Amino acid sequence: MSVWGLLLGLLLVGCSSSPPVVKSGSQSNDPVRNRLLLVYATWEGVPYRLGGNDQRGVDCSGFIQQVFLQVNGLALPRTTAQQVRQGQRIKRQHLQPADLVFFKTGWRQRHAGIYLGNGEFMHASTSRGVMISRLDNPYWQDVWWTGRRLTSDE
């Protein structure tokens, strides 16, 4: 395989994920989770599109950007590299609904999602589009990078 073929392949797997689909998203007593799930319902199944940020196709950072804009009018940066610098670092065991979760999915490849609570997060998967996954899935445990909590001044 040529170097260019390898680089193209790496580019195409950005924001990639292939663990099992989680069918959840049940309502709870947490108003933040419930609001996120209402927005998720409008995005569920939207296909992955590198650089996308609308209902025709979205990548992981574009999905995060659009959800936060819809939920509270917060304009986040566009890329995962920029988003991971927002807010304060949060350990996995201290995550709360609406915290951002980040993963190192490959060499120079990053993936991101929004924590929903109950061990679940929503994200845009290259293979399945917008979906909910579980943090305790071995795949996500192995590629965990960091969590970030946004502050009101961002």
Residues annotated as catalytic (active site), given as ranges: 60, 111, 123
DSSP state of 22: B
- Looking from the CA of 18 toward its CB, the CA atoms found within 13 Å total 4
Strand order in the sheet with 129-134: 88-90, 144-149, 100-106, 109-117, 120-125, 129-134
Say how many CA atoms lie within 13 Å of 148 toward its Cβ: 20
What are the b/e assignments for 113-126, b being 16+ CB within 10 Å? bbbbbebbbbbbbb
In whole angstroms, what is the distance from residue 129 CA to residue 63 CA? Answer: 10
Which residues are 115's β-sheet partners? 121
